[in-house]
A and B are shown apart, each in its own frame.
Chain A
Amino acid sequence: MEKYRTAITIGLVGAAITLLFGGWSMILVGTVVGAITGLNYGQHSAKRGALDKAREVLLPALIGNIIMGLGGTLYTFVVVPLTGKSLNYDQPLKLGTGRVPLDSIAVFIIGLAAGIAIGVAVAALIAYLQGLPENVRRVAFIASLIVFLFGLPFFDQVTGLDWIAAIITIQIFILLALGLNIVVGYAGLLDLGYAAFFAIGAYTTGLLSSPQIDIYWNFWLVIWVAAAMAAFAGLVLGAPTLPLRGDYLAIVTLGFGEIIPVVFRNLISVKLVEPFTRICFVGCDPKVDVVRWCIYACQGALDLTAGEKGINPIGRPMIPFTDELLFSSRSYLPWYFLVFGLIVLSIFFIRRLRNSRIGRAWMAIREDELAASQMGIDPVKTKLLAFSMGATFSGFAGAFYGSYISAIFPSVFDFSVSVIILCMVILGGLGNMVGVIIGGILIMGTDRLFLPQIATLLKDFMRHSVLGNVSNPVLKDFLEISVDPNQMRLAIFGLVLVIMMVVRPEGLVPSEERRAELHEGEEEHGDAATEAAA
C-alpha cells in the first residue's frame, strides 16, 4: 500500500478537478496525472533500465487514473443531476464548422476510457524516459512537453471544454511571475509593486496603438517599446531605493505600485507649458493660452489615458501574408501561441542571464552585500539591472495583455495583482523557474478555472436543490448571495500561503540554493555543537 500512496494522492488531486468538469476533462487531467506519476515513480524507482521503470509505473498509474476517473463519474451521475441538468444532454464535438453529435453519457464513457488509457500510457512513457541517458532524456522531455502544449488548445476547441481563455490568462501571469522571480528570487529584493511595471507595459501599448492619441504603431514594434519603457521604469524606481534594504525597500515598491495606477487614472487633461519662453509641449488651447509655439496636440488639454474609462480599442498584432483578423477577440488559438512564444523566449533569456556574470552578481548581492562588494561587484549597477530586467518581462506581459484584452483600465493593476504574482513565486519556489511556472499554474488555475467553476456549480446546485426547500426568506437571501467561492479567493490564497510558510517554506519546487539556505541554520547548529565538543 505504501508504494501506491503517492499515486493515490496524485489521483485524488486529479479527481478533485474532474469532479468539477467531468467528461472531456478526464482525458486532460488523466494525461497530467499520468505524467506526474511517471515522473515521480521513474525518479524514485530503484530499477535502472528504462523498460523496467516503465513496467513498474504501470500499476500505480492505473490506480491513480482510476481514482481520477471516479471524480468524473461522480460529476456525471451526482453533480450534474444535483445542479438541475438532465443526466443526458447534448455535448457535440466541434470540428471546424462541422459538429459530431454526442451526448453527455457518451462523452463520459469516452472520456473515462481514454483518460485512463492515455494516463497510463503517458506515465509509462515518462518513466521510460527517466531511464534514458541525460542528453536524450532532456530532448525527449522537451519534445513531449511541446507536443502536449501544442495539442492542448486544439483539444480544448474540439471538445468545447472552454479552458483556453483561462489558460491564456495563466500564461500572462506566468510571464509576470518569471520576471518577478528575477527581482525577488535571484537578486533577493522584495518588490511589492510589480503590477506597476505590468501597467506601464500595458499603457505604453495602449497609447501607441489606439485612437486615444491617434497613434497606430505595429504591435511587433510596440511590444519592444513597452518592454523598454518598463525597463526604464525599473531604473527609475530602482535608483532612489538602492540604499534601502529589506522592509524599507518593500515599502517603497509598495508605494510605487499604488502610485502608478493613480497616475494613469488621472492623466486625463495633460498640458505642459514651459513658463518663461511660453513654448507649449503638449495640450494647449491656442484660444485660451498665450503660447508662442505649440508642439503637439494643440486643441486643448490632452486626454492621455481616459481615466477610469480606460483605453479602448487597442490594436491587434498582424502577421504579414495571413488573414488580417487572425488575432481577433473570437479566436483564442493565435493568442495562445503568441504568449506561449513569449514565455519560451523569456525562459531562454532568463536562463542565459542567470548563468551569466550578472546572474552570479545577483546571487552574491542577495547572499551578502558586503562580501559581494569585496569581490568587485558593483551593488548599485547589479540591483538596478535586476529591477529593470525584471520589469522588462512584465513589459512584454503588459503589451500582450493590452492587445489581447483590447482595453485597459487602471483598476486592473491594483495591489492584489502584485500580491498574487508574488504568491506564485513564493508558492512555486523562489529562484526556480520550473517552480515559478508551477506556482503560476496552481494559483491562476485556481483563480480563473476552478473557483469560477465551483461557483457556477454551487449556484446551480443551490437554485435547484436547496433554495426551493428553504422557507425562511432571510436565510434564502443570505444563501443566494453569500455562497460564492469567488468572493473568498483572496482569503483562500492567504490561507494557502500561510500553510505553505509553515509546512514548506522553500516552495513546492525550490531551487537548490534556497533549500540549502533554509536548512543552513540546522547544520550550523550541528557544527557549533561538534566544535564545542572538540
Chain B
Amino acid sequence: MSMLEVQNIHTYYDNIHALKGISLNVNEGEIVTLIGANGAGKSTTLKTISGLTKPREGAVRLHGNPLHTLPAHKIVEQGIIMVPEGRRVFGVLTVSENLEMGAFARNDKQAIAQDLEKVYSLFPRLKERRNQLAGTLSGGEQQMLATGRGLMGRPRVLLLDEPSMGLAPVLVDLIFDTIQQLHKQGTTILLVEQNARMALQVADRGYVLQSGEIVLSDSAENLRANESVQKAYLGIS
C-alpha cells in the first residue's frame, strides 16, 4: 500500500468545481510531481491534502488513516507539511526563529537542534544569515528558508508548492538540486510545479492535471517522452 493516498476528491470554491475527482498516490521515498497549466487544480490538490480546503467528496489517507477529517494543524502533526506557494516566511522574525517556528508542533529539543544543524548544512546560506530578519532576504533565500522551515517539522511527506516561482534560473537550479538531495536522504515529496521540465527531471512519477482532472499518469521518464506532454508543457513541438 502506498504511503499517501488521495481517493477521488472533489473540492469546491463556493460553486466552482475545482477538483473533479482527483486520485493519486505517493509511495515512501518517492518524488511525485503534479504538472499542469494555470488553474488546473495543482495547488488546490495540495491545499486539500494539507487541510486548508476541505473536499466535499473523497478521502485523503496516510498509511490508511483518514486525513481529510482533521483540521489543518492536526494534519501537520501527522507529518504532512506544506511549503506554501509564495514562501510566506515570517518577515519580522529572524532566520533561525523562522526555523524554530517550523518545529512548533514538536517537543524533542535535542532532535530539533540536530535538525536545525541539518537544515543549515543543506542551506549554508541560511546559516550565514541566521540572525537576519527573514523579510530582508532575497526571494531565493526566502524559498530556502521556507523549505528549511518545512523540514524542521520532520515531514513524512513534504508538499512543495511552486518552489521555483519568481526565481532567477540559477536559483531554480539550486532549489531543484536541493530537492534531489532531499530525495537521496529518503524524504518523500509531492511537488507541484509550473516548470514541468525541471519537475520531470527530478521526479520518479508524475500526474498531468487539466481543469481539475487527471488526464495522464506515468513514470517521469515516459511523461518526458510523451508527445502531447512535450507539446503542451515542455514547449517541444
Which residues of A approach B to under 8 Å, CB–CB?
A: 357, 360-361, 363-364, 367-368, 370-371, 373-380, 512-514, 516-517, 520, 523-524, 527, 531, 534
CA distance A19 to B18 in the complex (A): 70
Contact of A371 among B71, B84, B135, B139 (CB under 8 A): B84
User: Are A375 and B136 touching (Cβ within 8 A)?
Assistant: no
* Known contacts A377-B104, A378-B71, A379-B73; is-contact A371 B133 (Cβ 8 Å): no
Interface residues of B in 127-155 (CB under 8 A from A): 133, 135-136, 138-139, 149-150, 153
A361 to B92, CA, bound (A): 14
Known: A360-B101, A520-B135, A531-B139. A376 touches B76 (CB 8 A): yes
| Distance between Cα atoms of A516 and B135 in the complex (Å) | 8
Q: Considering the chains assembled together, what is the distance between the CA atoms of A357 and B103 in angstroms?
A: 11
Assess the A370–B92 pair: CB atoms within 8 A. no
Contacts of B199 in A (CB 8 A): none
In the complex, what's the smallest C-beta–C-beta distance from A82 to chain B, in angstroms?
52
Chain A residues near B102 (CB, 8 Å)?
375
Q: Is B89 an interface residue (CB 8 A)?
A: yes
A357 neighbours in B (Cβ, 8 Å): 104
Size of the chain B interface, CB-CB below 8 angstroms: 29
Q: How far is the CA of A374 from the CA of B147 in the complex (A)?
A: 12
Q: List 10 A-B contacts (CB under 8 A).
A: A361-B104, A363-B92, A373-B52, A373-B73, A512-B92, A516-B91, A516-B135, A523-B136, A524-B135, A534-B168
Interface pair B73/A378, CB less than 8 Å apart:
yes
Q: Verify A376–B105 contact, CB threshold 8 A.
A: yes
**Chain A residues, Cβ within 8 Å of B52:** 370, 373
Most chain A beta-carbon contacts within 10 A, residue among B92, B105, B150: B92
What residue of chain B has the Cβ atom nearest to residue A534's Cβ?
Answer: B168
Chain A residue contacts of B92, Cβ below 8 A: 363, 367, 512-514, 516-517, 520
B88 proximal to A (CB < 8 A): yes
Beyond A367-B90, A374-B82, list 18 extra A-B contacts (CB 8 Å): A360-B104, A363-B92, A364-B101, A367-B93, A370-B52, A371-B84, A374-B50, A374-B72, A375-B73, A375-B101, A376-B104, A376-B153, A512-B92, A514-B92, A517-B92, A523-B135, A523-B136, A527-B136
B221 lies within 8 A of chain A by Cβ = no
User: B196 on the interface (CB 8 Å rule)?
Assistant: no
Cα A534 to Cα B167 with chains together (Å): 12
Residues of B within 8 A of A531 (CB): 138-139, 168
Q: What chain A residues lie within 8 Å of B153 (beta carbons)?
A: 375-376
Separation in Å of the B71 CB from the closest CB of chain A?
7
A370/B135 contact (C-beta < 8 A), A375-B76, A375-B102 known = no
Are the C-beta atoms of A516 and B101 separated by less than 8 Å? no
Tell me, in angstroms, the Cα distance from A325 to B104 when the chains sit together: 51
Contact (A371, B89) CB under 8 Å given A357-B104, A376-B104: yes
- Please name all residues of chain A whose beta carbon is closer than 8 Å to the beta carbon of B135 when the two chains form the complex: 516-517, 520, 523-524
Check if B218 is an interface residue, CB within 8 A of chain A: no
B81 in the interface, Cβ–Cβ < 8 Å?
A: yes
Judge whether B90 and A363 touch: CB under 8 Å.
yes
**A375 to B93 CA separation, bound complex (whole angstroms):** 14
Q: How many Å lie between the Cα of A531 and that of B104 in the bound state?
A: 32
Whether the pair B90, A371 counts as a contact (CB closer than 8 A) is: yes
A527 lies within 8 A of B138 (CB): yes
The complex places the Cα of A371 from the Cα of B89 at a distance, in Å, of 7
State whether B84 touches A516 (Cβ < 8 A).
no
Contact among B84, B88, B89, B93 with A363 in the assembled complex (CB-CB below 8 Å)? B93
A453 to B162, CA, bound (A): 64
Q: Measured between C-beta atoms, what is the minimum distance from B57 to chain A in Å? A: 23
CA–CA, A525 and B149, complex, Å: 25
Binary per-residue interface labels of chain B (54-95) against chain A in the complex, 1 for a CB within 8 Å, 0 otherwise: 000000000000000001110011000110100011111100
Do residues A367 and B91 form an inter-chain contact, with CB atoms below 8 A?
yes
Q: Which of B77, B133, B149 contacts A516 (CB 8 A)?
A: B133
**Distance between Cα atoms of A531 and B81 in the complex (Å):** 29
In the bound complex, CA of A298 to CA of B149 (Å): 63
Chain A residue, CB-CB nearest to B77: A376
Sorted nearest first, the 4 A-B pairs with minimum C-beta distance are A376-B105, A376-B76, A513-B92, A371-B88
In the assembly, what is the distance between CA of A360 and CA of B91, in Å?
A: 14
Known A373-B52, A374-B72, A523-B136; judge A517-B91 contact (CB<8 A). Answer: yes
B138 CB to closest chain A CB (Å) equals 6
A374 touches B90 (CB 8 A): no
**Closest chain A CB from B115 CB (angstroms):** 14
A370 CB, nearest partner CB in chain B, Å: 6
- Considering the complex, which residues of chain B in the window 89-116 have a beta carbon less than 8 Å from any beta carbon of chain A? 89-93, 101-102, 104-105
Check B88 against A368 for contact (C-beta < 8 Å): yes
Measured between C-beta atoms, what is the minimum distance from B81 to chain A in Å?
7
Contact B91 A374 (CB under 8 A): no
Closest chain-A Cβ to B186's Cβ sits at a distance in Å of: 22
The complex places the Cα of A524 from the Cα of B104 at a distance, in Å, of 27
Cross-chain contact A370 with B88 (CB below 8 angstroms): yes
